[in-house]
Amino acid sequence: MPSRWTPPSFVTWLLSVVFIAFMISGLNNANVTLERLSGGAFNMGKFLGSALPPDTSRTSAILSSIVQTFEIALVGTVFGVLLSLPVAILASSNTTPHPIIRHGTRSIVSMMRTIPDLIWALIFVISVGLGPLAGILTIIVDTIGFCARFFSERIEEIEKGPSQALESTGASRLGIISGSVIPIGFPSFVGTSLFAIEKAIRSAVILGLVGAGGIGVELNTAMSLRRFDEALMIIILIFIVVLIVEQISTAIRKKVI
């Protein structure tokens, strides 16, 4: 009979010790105390007391900013998805023209994905100024980092049979990609793109905090001026919009995938 328990390797022990050390250090640096937690609960109660009932006096202006946020997310995601497909083709082992191009493209995509949205937003705000354009450019970069990775993985998972059949008829590389790779991967591409737009709407809200346009500017202003009743109204409307987009996205995925 094989032994029911084998001693973990040295690497496993080392990783476990490092993990536990970081957990202990993190809890220690967070300074978690009963006094702070009780004080936080009291302050949260004060916030809710100041925020309720939500202020509806500026609903029309808030809705206008939410529409702008949705437009930023939509435009950025559409352009990001369109650019992600050729990037994914270059980054996939079965469609790239050369391994060097594949590794270089993957490195660029990893960089786009690694740098946080707020950093990209700050870079674009410095580059093109305050407003929706900085937000759109940020969403484009973030969408490429997100979609190109998953598009590439799906392309590499596609069976070689259809591509080899087209290749045997003398089809060009472009013909093989457009005739087999894209049609087979299309449902997965749509699903990933829908997840991307959900992600982009949440990101677009945060980007407004650094001046990239949208409802984040209104929310930042309301919180800074301690108009918590107006801030709560903004949060409620953001929640409703995100919920509607998620429901529509789920319905489309069920139809396509």
Cα 191 to Cα 257: distance, rounded to the nearest angstrom? 7
115 within domain boundaries: yes
Cα 185 to Cα 196: distance, rounded to the nearest angstrom? 16
100 within domain boundaries: no
Structure confidence at residue 105 (pLDDT): 86
The Cβ of residue 14 has, within 10 Å, a number of other Cβ atoms equal to 11
Over range 60-76, report the average pLDDT. Answer: 84
Domain range for 220 is 59-85+110-157+185-256
**Coil, helix or strand at residue 189:** helix
Over range 135-142, report the average pLDDT. Answer: 88
Cα end-to-end span (Å), the chain = 46
70 within domain boundaries: yes
* pLDDT tier at 13, thresholds 50, 70, 90: confident
Over range 219-243, report the average pLDDT. Answer: 83
Q: Could you identify the residue written with the tokens 């590439």?
A: 152
Structure confidence at residue 167 (pLDDT): 63
Structure confidence at residue 4 (pLDDT): 64
Structure confidence at residue 257 (pLDDT): 63
The pLDDT of residue 3 is above 70: no
Q: Which burial class, exposed, middle or buried, applies to 8 when counting CB atoms under 10 A from its CB (0-12, 13-18, 19+)?
A: exposed
Number of domains present in the structure of the chain: 1
Over range 222-251, report the average pLDDT. Answer: 83
| pLDDT per position as a tens digit, 73-125 | 888 899 998 998 888 888 887 777 788 888 888 888 888 888 888 888 888 88
Structure confidence at residue 170 (pLDDT): 63
Cα 201 to Cα 245: distance, rounded to the nearest angstrom? 9
The pLDDT of residue 5 is above 70: no
With CA atoms as reference, report the closest residue to 238 among 257, 214, 212, 211: 214
29 within domain boundaries: no
Structure confidence at residue 249 (pLDDT): 79
Q: Is 227 left (phi over 0), alpha (psi -120 to 50) or beta?
A: beta
Cα 153 to Cα 142: distance, rounded to the nearest angstrom? 17
* CA separation, residue 141 to residues 81, 148, 212, 222 (Å): 10, 10, 14, 29
| pLDDT per position as a tens digit, 21-62 | 988 888 888 777 778 778 778 888 877 887 788 777 777 888
76 within domain boundaries: yes
15 within domain boundaries: no
Residue 1: which H helix or E strand, with range? none
201 within domain boundaries: yes
| pLDDT per position as a tens digit, 148-194 | 888 888 887 777 766 667 666 666 666 667 676 777 777 778 888 88
212 within domain boundaries: yes
- Cis bond before residue 97 (omega within 30° of 0): no
Tell me if 113 sits within 8 A of 176, measured CB to CB: no
Tell me the CATH number at 137: 1.10.3720.10
